[in-house]
Amino acid sequence: MQRASLLRTFWAALIGVALLATPTEFSAVQPTESSTRVAVEKRAILVGAAKLQVPSVANQREIPGEHQLSYAPTLRGTESVGRQDELNDSFRSAKGVPSPEDFALRHKAQQRPANLSASTSIPRLILTPDYRSATMNPVGEYVVSVLNDGQWKEAGSLAYAHPYREKEIDLSRFLGKKAAVKVRLVQKGGGAAHIDAVSLDDSPPLKVKGTEDPLALVKLSKKDFDVIDALGKKIVLTFHPKGKKGKLRLTARVEPETISNTPFQFPLKNLFTKITESSAFYTYKFTDQKLLDARDGEQKPFFKEFCRTGSGHPSSYTYGWVTNDDNALYVKLEFTPDNTMDGDKDYALVHVKTDEGIKSFKVSELNRQWGSPAFGYTEKAEYQHKSYRFEIPLSEIGSSSGELSLAFSAYGTATPAVWSEISAGNVHGLATGSDGTLWTWGHNASGALGLGIPPSFVSYYPAKVGTSNGWETSAAGGNNSLAIRSDGTLWAWGDNTYGQLGLGDNLSRATPTQVGTENTWASVFTRSNSTFALKEDGTLWRGVGTTRDSSG
C-alpha cells in the first residue's frame, strides 16, 4: 500500500509538471556538464554541400544526467538502405501495392468519433501480409569454402537480397597453423550480384583471383559502395588475419532475376510518369560562352537532385551540367546512384520540349549517336559510377537562341524507391514519396494529418498533404507532425499543447505551418510529445513538449 501511495504521488507530481510547462519556440540544446559526453556512434550525411554528423539510430546511448534524447530514424545518407529500398516498381506490380498516385485514387476518407475505442482499427499503409518477406527474401547466395589440406572444404553459405548487407560466417574450425588463409566465394542464384567488402578477423584480403576487375583488391578492402561484379563467379581470396577467431564478414547483394525498369526522372516531379508536354521542365537560357564546361564539370551544376533508390544501389545525388556554343547543346549527367556496370541496360536521355513536341536523345553503350557513356571515379563520389556526355546539334533541336525547356532521365538498374520514408505517431502516419509528395493517414486528432479538416476525421488511405511537391523529410510524433521542404524550411502541425511545434504558443495547427523563417534545417525526429530538429551546421534544436524540465 505504501508503495502504491508513493507511485500515485509520483505520477501526480509528473502530471503537474506537464501542466505547468510553458511553450517556447524551438530552442538550441545547450550542453551541460552532465550531457557533454553523448555516447552515440555518429554517421555522416550530406545536406546540400554540408557534411554533417548525426547519431545512428541503431547505436543510441543514454545521455548521462537527467535528460535523455531519443532519435527517430532519418532516411538520409548511404546507411539508410534498410527502409528506403524495400519497395520497388516491380514489387508493386507483382504484389498490387499502389503507388502514391494510386493511393490518391483509392482515397475514401470518412469521419469517425474522436473517442476511438481500443478495438477500433485504423488501417495503416495497405501492404500484403508477406510484404517484408517478399521484398527482403534472399534470391541468391555465396557459398563459402576454405582451402584445407589441399582441398576446398565448404563452410556454409550466406544468402542475400538486393540491398547491400554485411553478413558473417565462422571459419575458425578450418583455420590451421599456417599464416595465410585461402577462402573461395562462389555466387549462385538470382540476377546481378556484387560484392562491396570482405574481411577475415577485420583484415582485408591480400590477394584476389577470379575477377577481371584490376581494382578488385582495393574495392574489397572497405565498405564504400565501390563494388566488383560477382555474378556466377568463383572468387578466391588470400588472407593473413591478425587473429584466429575466423570471423569472415561479407558485404554483398544479389538482385532478383526480374527487376524494375523505372528510370529516375529530372525534375523529380516527373518520377513514375512518361515525359510529355505537360511534364515539369528546367529552363535553360542560351549563352555565348565558348568554354564547354559541361564536358569537364567545372561550372556550377545546372541541376542537382537527391535520388532515393529502391534497388539496393546507393542513394545519392545526380548532377547535370548544360552549356552550348553556336553549333551544339552540351550536356553532362553524373548519375552517382548507379555504381554497377550493366551493359546496354544503362542509359540516359535528354528531353527537349519543342513546338513540334518532345524530342528525346538517348545515350547508352550501344546508342552513341548523341554522345557517350563512362564509368569511373569523380570528385562527386568515392566509388565508380556512371556518367553520360551529350553533344546534340542545335539543328536537331530547332532552336539556337532564347531558352529551352529541358528534362532528363537516367537508368542503370538503379531505380527510384516508391516511398523514401515512413513514420508513425500515436494514431496517424506520414510518408514521403520519392517524388517529393507528402502523404498522411489515420486519425486527425488535434489536426495531426495536416489536411485542414475537423479533428474527428479519419483517413483510411494515405491522403496527399497540400498540392505541391518538394517535401524532403518528415516525422510523425504523438499527435503532431514535422516536415522539412527541399528549400530547407521547417514546418509543423497538429497537437501543440506543450508548445512542441516550436511556434511560440500552445495553439494546435490543422495545416502545415512554417517554423520561423530560416531555411537551413536538415532533419527532424520526434517521440511522443517531444520534437527535435537538426540544422545544417550540426546544431540540435528542440520544441518544448517533454514533461521533464525543459531547461536541458
What gap in Å lies between CA 421 and CA 77, rounded to an integer? 13
pLDDT tens per residue across span 266-318: 999 898 899 999 999 999 998 755 444 444 545 789 999 999 898 899 999 99
Reduced to 3 states, what is the DSSP secondary structure of residue 395? helix
Q: Would you put residue 254 in left (φ > 0), alpha (ψ -120 to 50) or beta? A: beta
List the one residue out of 202, 233, 192 whose CA is nearest residue 216: 233
Place of cell 497540400: 466
Order across the sheet with 228-229: list the strands.
165-170, 247-254, 193-200, 228-229
pLDDT at site 288: 52
pLDDT tens per residue across span 523-541: 888 877 788 888 888 888 8
Single-letter amino acid code for the residue at 164: Y
For 312, counting Cβ atoms within 10 Å of its Cβ (0-12 exposed, 13-18 middle, 19+ buried), the class is buried
Neighbours of 61 (CB within 10 A): 12
The residue ranking higher by pLDDT, 102 or 518, is 518
Q: Which three cell numbers stand for residue 59?
A: 547505436
Distances (CA, A) of 42 to 38, 45, 56, 477: 10, 10, 6, 23
What gap in Å lies between CA 550 and CA 383, rounded to an integer? 44
What gap in Å lies between CA 373 and CA 349, rounded to an integer? 11
Q: Which three cell numbers stand for residue 118?
A: 481500443
Q: Which three cell numbers stand for residue 403?
A: 531558352
Percent of the chain with pLDDT over 70: 71
CA atoms within 13 A on the CB side of 324: 20
Summarize the confidence of residues 68-75 as an average pLDDT: 29
pLDDT, the chain, mean: 75
Point out which residues pair with 531 in neighbouring strands: 526, 543
Which residues, at least 6 apart from 14, have a Cβ–Cβ distance to it below 8 Å? 547
List the one residue out of 410, 295, 389, 392 whose CA is nearest residue 342: 410
pLDDT at site 372: 97
pLDDT at site 175: 83
Which residues, at least 6 apart from 172, have a Cβ–Cβ distance to it below 8 Å? 244, 245, 246, 247
Q: Would you put residue 291 in left (φ > 0), alpha (ψ -120 to 50) or beta? A: beta
Whats the size of the chain, residue-wise?
552
Secondary structure letter of residue 429 according to DSSP: E
Summarize the confidence of residues 457-474 as an average pLDDT: 85
pLDDT at site 384: 97
List of long-range contacts for 383-387, beta carbons under 8 Å, 24+ apart: 383/224, 383/225, 383/226, 383/227, 383/314, 383/339, 384/226, 384/339, 385/334, 385/335, 385/336, 385/337, 385/338, 385/339, 386/335, 386/338, 386/346, 386/348, 386/410, 386/412, 387/332, 387/333, 387/334, 387/335
Strand ranges in 343-398 using DSSP code E only, listed in sequence order? 347-354, 357-364, 371-378, 381-393
Summarize the confidence of residues 354-358 as an average pLDDT: 92
pLDDT tens per residue across span 378-395: 999 999 999 999 999 999
pLDDT tens per residue across span 201-255: 999 999 999 999 999 999 999 999 999 999 999 999 999 877 778 999 999 999 9
Place of cell 555474378: 231
Q: Quote the pTM value.
A: 0.63
List of long-range contacts for 393-398, beta carbons under 8 Å, 24+ apart: 393/327, 393/328, 394/324, 394/326, 394/327, 394/328, 394/329, 396/359, 396/361, 397/329, 397/352, 397/354, 397/359, 398/354, 398/355, 398/356, 398/359
Give residue limits of the domains in the chain.
2-129+418-543, 140-254, 264-411
Q: Which three cell numbers stand for residue 234?
A: 568463383
pLDDT at site 401: 67
List the one residue out of 310, 526, 540 whose CA is nearest residue 424: 526
Secondary structure letter of residue 269 according to DSSP: G
HEC sequence for 60-85 = CCCCCCCCCCCCCCCCCCCCCHHHHC
Q: Which band of pLDDT confidence, cut at 50, 70 and 90, is reported for residue 118?
A: very low
List the one residue out of 313, 337, 306, 303 whose CA is nearest residue 406: 303
What gap in Å lies between CA 386 and CA 90, rounded to an integer? 23
Pair type for strands 316-324 and 328-335 = antiparallel
